[in-house]
Amino acid sequence: MALIAWSEAFSVGNPLLDSDHRILIDLLVQLHDAVDTGQSRDVVGSVLSALSEYAEHHFRREEGMMAACGYPDLEAHKAEHRQLEAHVRDICGRYRAAERGALDEQVVELLKKWLTQHIQVTDNSYKPWVERVVDGGARPPSVTV
């Protein structure tokens, strides 16, 4: 059974960002499968690096979209992104250093939990801004923060 699968519950109202989220979920599943089936260190390391690099690419795209939409909580959202980037870089470094337990089931589960909660809660909070811009260039909603 797959670790996680894309569903509409993960949609943030923007096809490009939804596609990015699908790719991140797929990479997380690939990482889980590589660890679970005992793939070589090179294979696991390659998937881990791809996940790290794509997450950073996605975060920059998402932050650009939020800035263009006038999303008011952009700085707090960026801070969450930087926190995950630092965490994944730490995991990558520990894995490359062959630290025991650097990438076990608990670490993969932690990444899954972070990704799903981040998409469904934190990312979902910008959905009204992104949808209004996508749906015809309307101004984003006003919100008191």
Nearest to 92 by CA among 55, 128, 59, 140: 55
CATH fold, domain 36-133, is Four Helix Bundle (Hemerythrin (Met), subunit A) (1.20.120)
Q: Which amino acid is at 70?
A: G
For residue range 57-66, what is the model confidence (pLDDT) as tens digits?
999 999 999 9
C-beta of residue 95 within 8 angstroms of C-beta of residue 102: yes
d(CA 89, CA 48) in angstroms, rounded, equals 10
C-beta of residue 71 within 8 angstroms of C-beta of residue 142: no
What pLDDT does 67 receive?
94
**pTM as predicted:** 0.86
Q: Where in the chain are the domains?
A: 36-133
pLDDT tens across the length of the chain (145 residues): 467 888 998 999 899 999 999 999 999 999 999 988 999 989 999 999 999 999 999 999 999 999 999 999 999 999 999 999 998 999 999 888 988 777 877 788 888 888 899 999 999 999 998 887 765 554 444 444 3
What pLDDT does 136 receive?
52
What pLDDT does 58 receive?
96
Cα Dmax for the chain: 52
Q: Looking at the chain, how many residues does it have?
A: 145
C-beta of residue 36 within 8 angstroms of C-beta of residue 112: no
Q: For residue 121, give the H/E element and its range.
A: none
- 31: burial class by Cβ within 10 Å (0-12, 13-18, 19+)? buried
